[in-house]
Structure 1
Amino acid sequence: MAILSLDKVSVSYGKVEVVRNVSLRVEPGRIVTLLGPNGAGKTTLLLATIGLLGSHGRVYFEGADISNLTVEERVARGLCLVPEKRELFSEMSVQDNLLLGAYLRRDRRSRKADLDDVYDRFPRLKERLSQVAGTLSGGERQMLALGRALMAKPKVLLLDEPSLGLAPLIVAEIFRTIAALRGLGVSVLVIEQNARAALNTADFGYVLETGEIVQSGSSEALIHDPKLIAAYLGGTRAAESLPVS
């Protein structure tokens, strides 16, 4: 059974329908990527999934219909969004930002262990635990956003453009971290403009264009699909040289 599934989800801004009848599935412990051009409705779909936008259709989490739940109720069940702009508390320290990620948790005794785990995954955050978040580099801010999400003990992470604006070496580090989430049993639905990095990390992919799913398949199949190569991978050689994890 899918841990997260969308069934014919549609979202409108006023009279303009920007997402139309989208259905997709995220299996337990799997990474799924949602590809597509700017303006295709990808972020809108994630916001509807977490409950920040109203929508038609149904959202299911662990087999239960959560379509009418609030954002807080969805987060409490284990669904967590890391937005494109990261939405950190810039005047607070790195550690305080991380602890805020656990604000809904009642198991205070285990928060210290989870905090140590985040610092193990992101040593640079440990080096800067007292530093104000607003002074971090772009890569460090993304690490902090991911770490804060992990402090919520999510079952599914929704990631919106985790590599946006980052240097290639940092992008590789971020995607290694995302891939490692499988070992924690965390499922991921990730929006990403860097199709190569996304498909190299994901197990399955969907392509969203003008608000509709136009293509889907395993990462390996999508990497070698001529249409996807032409549209998103920048040529056959680049796509063929991409290893599949």
Structure 2
Amino acid sequence: MPLLTIEDVSVSYGKVDAVRSVSLQVEEGQIVTVIGPNGAGKTTLMLATIGLLRSFGRMTFMGEDLSRLSVEDRIEKGLCLVPEKRELFAEMSVRDNLLLGAYTRYNRATINNELEAVYERFPRLKQRHKQDAGTLSGGERQMLALGRALMTKPKLLVLDEPSLGLAPLIVREIFHTVASLRELGVSVLLVEQNARAALETADVGYVLETGEIVQSGEASSLIHDPRLMAAYLGGH
């Protein structure tokens, strides 16, 4: 059974169909990416998956119908979104932002262990644990957003444009971290405009254009597809 199944899902803004009859799935332990141009409907699809937008069609998570679950219930089940704008609490410390990710649990020792695990994965967050989140660099803010998401103990992490606005060196570091999440048993659904980095990291890719899936397959095959190379990968 796939971890996440999206079946014939559509999302509309008024009379505008932003996503039309999209189907995809994420298997346990997989990194699946959705690539496509700006305005294709990628973020809309992710917001619908977490429950922030109303959708039509069928979505299941670990076999359970998501339409019956609130956003909070989806998070408790292990579905977690890291939004494009990171949505950190700028005037709270790095440590307090991380602890917010563990808001559904009460075992102090377990929470502290998970905090240390995040610090081990992101040493810069440990160095800056007392700093306000608003004083961090763009790369550090993305690390903090990822770390806070990991504190929820997700089974599936939905990442919306994690490379947005970051320098190339930091982008490589972020994608290396995303790839390493397999070691934790965390599956990833990754929405990304940086098609090359996304396909180099993912197992499976879907191409979304004007709200519809126009191509899909193993990421290693898609990255060598001439049409995709011309459209998204700079032609080389």
User: Normalization by structure 2: what TM-score?
Assistant: 0.99
Three-state SS of the structure 1 residue aligned to 2:67 is coil
Q: How does 1:103-114 map to 2 (within 5 A)?
A: 103-114=103-114
Q: 1:155 to 1:107 in 2, by over 3 A?
A: farther
Aligned partner letter, 1:13: Y
After TM superposition, give the deviation of residue 107 of structure 1 in Å: 3.8
Distance 2:46 2:106 in 1: 27
* Shift, 1:101, TM fit: 0.6
In the alignment, what sits opposite 1:196? 196
Whole-angstrom CA distance in 2 between matches of 1:171 and 1:108: 33
Could you tell me how far apart the structure 2 residues matched to 1:36 and 1:18 are?
Answer: 13
- Provide the aligned length of Structure 1 versus Structure 2: 236
Partner of 2:67: 67
Q: How many angstroms does 1:59 deviate by?
A: 1.0
1:7 maps to 7
Q: Which residue of 1 aligns with 2:22?
A: 22
Aligned equivalent of 1:34: 34
1:108 CA displacement:
3.4
In the TM superposition, residue 105 of structure 1 has moved relative to its aligned partner by 2.2
Name the counterpart of 1:154.
Answer: 154
Q: Which amino acid aligns with 2:150?
A: L
Which residue in the other structure is 2:92 paired with? 92
User: What's 2:128 paired with?
Assistant: 128
SS of 1:28's partner is coil
Q: Alignment partner of 2:68: what SS? A: coil
1:58 positional shift: 1.1
Residue 167 of structure 2 corresponds to: 167
Give SS of 1:164's match: coil
User: C-alpha offsets along residues 4-36 of structure 1, whole Å, 9 cap, x if unaligned?
Assistant: 110111000011111001010001011000000
Instruction: State the SS of the aligned residue for 1:178.
Output: helix
Specify every segment of 5 or more residues in structure 1 that has no aligned partner in the other structure, as ranges.
237-245
Distance in structure 2 (CA, Å) of the matches to 1:11 and 1:57 = 9
Look up the SS of the partner of 1:165 in the other structure: coil
Instruction: Find the residue that maps to 1:67 and give its secondary structure.
Output: helix
Q: CA deviation at 1:48?
A: 0.2
Give the secondary-structure state (helix, strand or coil) at the position aligned to 2:180. Answer: helix
Structure 1 consecutive aligned stretches of length 4 or more whose deviation exceeds 3 Å:
none
CA distance in 2 between partners of 1:158 and 1:86 (Å) = 12
Percent sequence identity over aligned pairs: 72
CA RMSD between the two structures: 0.7
Equivalent-residue separation in structure 2 for 1:139 and 1:157 (angstroms): 18
Cα deviation code 1:73-116 (max 9, x no counterpart): 00000000000000000000000000001101244331111100
Alpha-carbon distance in 1 for matches of 2:164, 2:173 = 13
Alpha-carbon shift at residue 199 of structure 1 (Å): 0.7
Instruction: Choose 106-115 or 85-94, whichever is displaced more.
Output: 106-115
Counterpart-to-counterpart distance in 2, 1:107 and 1:228? 48
Structure 2 residue runs without a partner (length 5+): none
Letter of the structure 1 residue corresponding to residue 109 of structure 2: R
